[in-house]
Amino acid sequence: CDDGSCDLFSCLVDIEVTKVVDVAELLIGEEATFTITATNEGPGAATNVSVSDLLPTNLMYVSHTTTVGFYNPGSGQWSIGSMNAGQTETLIVVTTPTAEGTYENIAQVITTDQNDIDSTPGNNDATEDDQANAIITVGVGPLPGCTNPVACNYDATATVDDGSCEL
């Protein structure tokens, strides 16, 4: 906007990101679906908008859908392109955890050609409205086996008796 093509106010944008997950606790192998929304609160139109949503280690990518642009699961970059003031776009990413633990999945705006009114793209500042996270906790689930400690084939790791105990 320093070329005189518009006034300063119309060259400012406010790209906000929100993120939710459909299930906060799940077992290894079950699916978790993350929904990321990016909204241009204006007042100006934004160009070259992209959001980073790289999956943490042990969250395996399954699939995704976008309302606009394209998502690269390898790099985690969602290239949105242009957004008019008031426009909202959505990325939905389906994952499957491969190990137990607690995982934080972070999305944040990493580029826009215009200055953002209240945040700086790509600075990893969780207090800004251009970054959001969702946390899931993954358990291992029931492990079948012999749970009787006096049986000769007792399995100390088993959590559900499968009827195989040999006394």
Q: CA–CA separation, 102 vs 72, rounded Å?
A: 24
Q: CA–CA separation, 92 vs 143, rounded Å?
A: 31
Q: Mean pLDDT throughout 122-137?
A: 92
Residue 162 main-chain phi, psi, to 5 deg: -100, 10
Q: Mean pLDDT throughout 33-40?
A: 98
Could you tell me whether strands 160-161 and 144-145 are parallel, antiparallel, or unpaired per DSSP bridges? parallel
Q: CA–CA separation, 126 vs 132, rounded Å?
A: 7
Q: CA–CA separation, 51 vs 147, rounded Å?
A: 48
What does the mean pLDDT of the chain come to? Answer: 92
In the chain, pLDDT over 90 holds for what percent of residues? 77
pLDDT tens string 132-155: 999 999 998 777 889 999 999 999
pTM: 0.81
User: Is the N-terminal amide bond of 43 cis, ω within 30° of 0?
Assistant: yes
Give residue for tokens 């008031």. Answer: 86
* pLDDT of 8 above 80: no
